[in-house]
Amino acid sequence: MEITVKTLDVTQTKTDCIVVGLFADKTLTPGAAKLNAVTEGGVVRLLDLGDLTLKAGHTAWLTAGPKQPFSRALVVCLGSSAKAVSLQDMTATAGALARATTSKNIKQALWDLDGAADHLAGEQLGALIAEAFGKHLYRYTATKKPTDTAPKLEKLSLSIAKGKIKPLAQGVAQGTSLAKGINFARELGNLPPNICTPTYLAEQAKQLAKGYPALSVKVLDEKAMAKLGMHSLLSVSAGSAQPAQLIVVEYQGKTSKQPVVLVGKGITFDTGGISLKPGQGMDEMKFDMCGAASVLGTLAALADAKAPVHVVGIIAAAENMPGSRATKPGDVVTSMSGQTIEILNTDAEGRLVLCDALTYAERFKPKVVIDIATLTGACVVALGHHATGLFANDQALADALLAAGNRAQDRAWQLPLWDDYQKGLDSNFADIANIGGREGGSITAACFLSRFTKKFKWAHLDIAGTAWHSGGNKGATGRPVGLLVNYVLNQA
């Protein structure tokens, strides 16, 4: 779908659908007033009949008459009043419009934004509209025929006053790039684990880099990793026929700054290993590579937007399987950092792959390092499915990430990383154990990672509760690509 920005007379345009807005206080935008005039009071009649719920994002249809060049009109409530419409309201509205316009046989639509949210920055507005439509139009079809509810929308025109075209169009371009990155991450997450293996992830990274000259990729195989001493990472893939891959993707935009390094957990399937998981819902452990997918999605969005930033993505990709060569509880391995680890539970594998990737990150002299991982079920218990868990050894970095999450409407919530929790990781047989007991499970997991991040500013995002939806609309969300892109662009 293509989004264009220009100044149009909404009721004089030939299109499948026009969209006009009004407010809960029953004031009409200029476009709604025009529609009301050409339909001899049609909009006011809708209000009098009570057919439009006066809450942001609620819509009602009007069918056009023979004299009108447009086929239908969609009337949308934008929020409580012209002055009070928020970015959240506009996000709800954009999402509702994407849903409504794709529910019918509509190929082209025109949304008149004049007077809709004049006090909001055009750039933010354009970005959130493009993101909402871009995300809504994604459908998974790799291993399934498209359904007949597949959206038909090919073109969305946004109409705005001449002087406001430029910022709105810039925002649209940004939001379009972001949606591409988010949908790329969703697609990788959704692909079945017999397709999306560590090798497949490496191929996808190479494929992505082919499309953008500022992206470069290097893949380390198991032999190269063994040479570097990454025996913690390799202990996870030991039981699998699929070899582990360390995928390094660098985006060098126009800047001379030290890179932001993003480290993604890429467990393409997590059976738990010898500490086998129960069968119920185990298929969802195909999503255990969503941290890795979010790193690739973020790089895709930044490269697509030609952002003036420097970002290195490191993906620790492996499959966690039981088998005769698999790591056993009680095994002790030496990590690349030199610290020995007693593996008490092979299902706490995310931290085992991440710790070596984090040590590897040192060589990039990073400005900051952020890891993204579906790390603990305990994080889902603590925060549910709304907030990503955030831990950091630097409060300024934590604050910047929280703020980015708020701006992107992809929120995180900080949890403590106090020394009090470190004792839980003591081992009689190694420098550190890989589990710290049931209580505070996401905190002790973060404490484990903190042992490998002493040389740089670091934050950890636990996306176990936010990376995918279960149930009827099972599927990857693409979170936290929005947060990460927003954070990186804000550093530029």
Candidate ranges 20-28, 146-154, 161-169, 347-355; the one touching ligand BES (CB under 6 A): 347-355
Q: Coil, strand, or helix at residue 245?
A: strand
Per rule CB under 6 A, is residue 270 in the interface with ligand BES? yes
Residues 84 and 104: beta-carbon distance below 8 Å: no
Residues 94 and 179: beta-carbon distance below 8 Å: no
Residues 254-273 that bind Zn ion (CB under 5 A): 267, 270
Per rule CB under 6 A, is residue 464 in the interface with ligand BES? yes
Per rule CB under 5 A, is residue 16 in the interface with Mn ion? no
Question: E strands, 135-257, where?
Answer: 155-159, 215-220, 245-252
| Helix, strand and coil in the chain, % to nearest 5 | 40, 20, 40
Residues 347-366 that bind Mn ion (CB under 5 A): 347, 349
Complex with Zn ion: residue 261 or 267, whichever CB lies closer: 267
Assigned token pair, 490 = 């804000």
Site string for ligand BES, 371-390 (x = CB under 6 A): ---xxxxx-x----------
Residues 435-454 that bind ligand BES (CB under 6 A): 435, 441
Which positions are catalytic?
277, 351
Residue with the closest Cβ to Zn ion? 270
- Least spacing, CB of residue 398 vs ligand BES, in Å: 22
Rule CB under 6 A: choose which of 123, 222, 288, 342 binds ligand BES: 288
Residue with the closest Cβ to ligand BES? 377
Distance of CA 444 to CAs 84, 372, 431, 470, Å? 43, 16, 15, 26
- Least spacing, CB of residue 470 vs Zn ion, in Å: 16
Q: Considering only CA atoms, which of 155, 134, 245, 247 is closest in space to residue 485?
A: 134
Report how many residues bind ligand BES under the rule CB under 6 A.
16
Complex with ligand BES: residue 101 or 346, whichever CB lies closer: 346
Q: How many residues are recorded in the chain?
A: 492
Q: Coil, strand, or helix at residue 278?
A: coil
Per rule CB under 5 A, is residue 270 in the interface with Mn ion? yes
Q: Considering only CA atoms, which of 232, 461, 247, 452 is closest in space to residue 362?
A: 452
Per rule CB under 5 A, is residue 319 in the interface with Mn ion? no
Cα–Cα–Cα angle for 126, 131, 136, rounded to 5 degrees = 135
Amino acid at 182: I
Per rule CB under 5 A, is residue 112 in the interface with Mn ion? no
Assigned token pair, 399 = 């604050």
Q: Considering only CA atoms, which of 9, 5, 15 is closest in space to residue 73?
A: 15
Give which of Zn ion, ligand BES, Mn ion, none residue 131 binds (C-beta under 5 to 8 Å, depending on kind). none
- Least spacing, CB of residue 453 vs Zn ion, in Å: 19
Helices (H) and strands (E) in the chain — how many of each? 14, 19
Complex with ligand BES: residue 304 or 371, whichever CB lies closer: 371
Q: Count of alpha carbons within 13 Å of 88, Cβ hemisphere only?
A: 7
Per rule CB under 6 A, is residue 294 in the interface with ligand BES? no
Per rule CB under 5 A, is residue 350 in the interface with Zn ion? yes
Residues lying near Mn ion in the complex (CB under 5 A):
270, 347, 349
Binding site for Zn ion (CB under 5 A): 267, 270, 288, 350
- Which chain residues interact with ligand BES by CB under 6 A? 270, 288, 345, 347-350, 374-378, 380, 435, 441, 464
